[in-house]
Amino acid sequence: MSESMTAARRPGAQDYPYDREALRTELRGLEQVPGVSKPDPILTVDRIERRFGGMTAVNVEHLEVQRGAITALIGPNGAGKTTFFNLITGFDQPSNAKKLIGGGDASWSFNGKRLTRTGASQAARAGMVRTFQLTKALGRMTVLENMLIGASDQPGENLFVAPFKPLWAKRERENIAKAEELLVRFKLDAKRDDMAGDLSGGQKKLLEMARALMSDPAMIMLDEPMAGVNPALTQSLLDHIQALRDEGTTVLFVEHDMHMVRHISDWVVVMAQGEIIAEGLPETVMTSEAVVDAYLGAHHDKDLGDDDALTTGVMRAIATGVAEEVEEENR
Ligand SMILES: Nc1ncnc2c1ncn2[C@@H]1O[C@H](COP(=O)(O)OP(=O)(O)O)[C@@H](O)[C@H]1O
Ligand SMILES: [Mg+2]
């Protein structure tokens, strides 16, 4: 059995002793400037750039995300938030990416592990997982099948490499048990065998979150968790997010709903035109002049949302990454 299949090796969220008040007090003492050092960063990013043609979508000099905190990433549409998520989780590569020999100066590390030249499945193994929306293809799978896709340490269970399935029968049973436990927690257990596409908007968001938890991430990244959610379900989503933080999972989320941002985040990072333009406490940062200017000056065009960023190309990239890992482990 390869080392990577040992669950204990993964940085468990539960290892982190969480005291929200102590954390907030520490954060209150920080200077509220872009790139400010955190007491205990779980993610540190240096010089990440992403250009599309002549346009610079992301240009982040330095960012640290505090371990154990809920950090909100806000900014007007087109600011580069989703692209930034894709870059650090390995779904996209920086334009200034480091190469095997030479290349650019992009660099980031998570939980002490440099991720500068790794892909999405390695980022997930390091403990950093982003949710992605239910695409049409995923909607045609059952709720349980969707959960099993989230079990990142178990490539054989990944539906993209179904031919390898017999190799992983024992892990499959464990993954199913884990999936069922999470479905109960998210009140989706009655929907286990339903098509994911038939869930309500809010239930889809819960499933996206539950799926991400299959790999026991140290940090979960949520891109607009409240988008399209019926108000009756928003409180439940908020509770789930705060419960994750209280268990020691670091949360980084993008959200347009400023009420939610103020209500649950411990720290807020503001992006505009690809750059981090402000960082600070939720009580103060959103009213700062730089932030108000950024929103007023932004083009209010349609948000791309993650469906556009995470299309079949991305799914294919995951599949390729997983297939390569299976090959490696069978060697
Ligand atoms: N695949 C892509 N091809 C070309 N331009 C893109 C692509 N993805 C994002 N962009 C552009 O990059 C900018 C940042 O987009 P995005 O990261 O989706 O912003 P946000 O999530 O903050 O709304 C936007 O101008 C968007 O049009
Ligand atoms: Mg976006």
**Counted domains in the chain:** 3
Q: Which range among 66-70, 167-171, 277-281 shows the weakest confidence by mean pLDDT?
A: 167-171
Does one domain contain both 122 and 246?
yes
Does one domain contain both 55 and 102?
yes
Q: Which of 52, 87, 132 to mutate to test the pocket of ligand 1 (most atoms within 8 A of CB)?
A: 52
Q: Which range among 11-20, 147-156, 288-297 shows the weakest confidence by mean pLDDT?
A: 11-20
Does one domain contain both 279 and 327?
no
Residue in 276, 138, 268, 277 with CA at minimum distance from that of residue 199: 138
* Site residues for ligand 1, CB cut-off 6 Å: 52, 57, 75, 77-83, 303-304, 309
Give yes or no for a contact between 211 and 150, defined as CB atoms under 8 angstroms apart.
Answer: yes
Residue 220 lies inside a defined structural domain of this protein? yes
Residue 203 lies inside a defined structural domain of this protein? no
The alpha carbon of 129 and the centre of ligand 2 are apart by a number of angstroms equal to 16
Q: How far apart are the first and last CA of the chain?
A: 11
Could you tell me how many residues make up the chain? 331
Does one domain contain both 152 and 226?
no
Does one domain contain both 117 and 231?
yes
Q: Please determine, for residue 322, whether its predicted confidence score (pLDDT) is greater than 60.
A: no
Highest mean pLDDT among 58-72, 192-206, 241-255: 58-72
Residue 330 lies inside a defined structural domain of this protein? yes
Residue closest by Cα to atom 25 of ligand 1: 78
Does one domain contain both 132 and 249?
yes
Does one domain contain both 267 and 123?
yes
The alpha carbon of 48 and the centre of ligand 1 are apart by a number of angstroms equal to 15
Mean confidence (pLDDT) of the chain: 80
Does one domain contain both 11 and 111?
yes
Does one domain contain both 164 and 99?
no
CA distance 6 to 280: 38
Residue 62: give the domain boundaries.
3-137+215-297
Q: Please determine, for residue 74, whether its predicted confidence score (pLDDT) is greater than 80.
A: yes
Nearest ligand 1 atom, CA 58: 14
Does one domain contain both 156 and 240?
no
Does one domain contain both 126 and 149?
no
The residue type at 156: G
Q: CB within 5 A of ion ligand 2: which residues?
A: 81-82
Does one domain contain both 131 and 261?
yes
The alpha carbon of 193 and the centre of ligand 1 are apart by a number of angstroms equal to 35
